[in-house]
């Protein structure tokens, strides 16, 4: 569903957010600092459930994108869906790390792979799934 209640977002700024997500997932997996998943959980919650325009990391990457003249506005709906998935994955990573479990490596690996794809190619798998879901629902109606 397209979100017209929230201003469009900069897809190139989201590539910066994806880079940050990749770094957080890599630190979670390959360093002794699993608490970094809080960055992913809180950022995903703020961008996905509140508004991307209220997130400090998105604002930073949006300014960088604007200064480089690479702004590309897209509807916020699919990006917010991706952020909701990141918030859930980040929360699972934090909770499992606090419990001393290694299960958080599963969502961390998924974030690592999909954030790398988004950061390097601009392909957002969650955005693709979001659009496919709404196309499928429209075909049934």
In this prediction, residue 5 carries a pLDDT of: 84
Q: Enter the tokens of residue 117.
A: 């794809």
- pTM score of the predicted model: 0.92
Distance in angstroms between the alpha carbons of the first and the last residue of the chain: 14
Please give the C-alpha separations between residue 99 and each of 34, 76, 104, in angstroms, as whole numbers: 11, 34, 10
Domain hosting residue 35, numbered range: 9-140
Q: How confident is the model at residue 1 (pLDDT cuts 50, 70, 90)?
A: low
Question: What total number of domains does the chain contain?
Answer: 1
- Is 102 a domain residue? yes
- Is 23 a domain residue? yes
- Is 2 a domain residue? no
How much of the chain is in helix, strand and coil states, percent to nearest 5?
75, 5, 20
Mean pLDDT, the chain, rounded, equals: 94
In this prediction, residue 107 carries a pLDDT of: 98
Q: How confident is the model at residue 139 (pLDDT cuts 50, 70, 90)?
A: confident
- Is 76 a domain residue? yes
Average pLDDT over residues 87-115: 97
DSSP state at residue 68: T
- Is 1 a domain residue? no
């Amino acid at each position: 569903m397209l979100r017209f209640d929230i201003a469009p977002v900069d897809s190139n700024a989201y590539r910066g957010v994806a880079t940050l997500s990749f770094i957080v997932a890599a630190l979670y997996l390959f360093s002794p600092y699993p608490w970094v998943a809080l960055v992913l959980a809180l950022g995903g919650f703020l961008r996905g459930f509140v508004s991307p325009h209220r997130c400090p990391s998105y604002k930073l990457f949006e300014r960088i994108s604007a200064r480089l003249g690479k702004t590309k506005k897209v509807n916020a709906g699919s990006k917010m869906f991706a952020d909701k998935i990141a918030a859930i994955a980040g929360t699972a990573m934090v909770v499992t790390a606090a419990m001393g479990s290694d299960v958080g490596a599963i969502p961390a690996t998924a974030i690592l792979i999909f954030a790398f794809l988004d950061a390097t190619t601009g392909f957002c798998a969650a955005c693709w799934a979001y659009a496919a879901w709404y196309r499928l629902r429209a075909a049934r109606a």
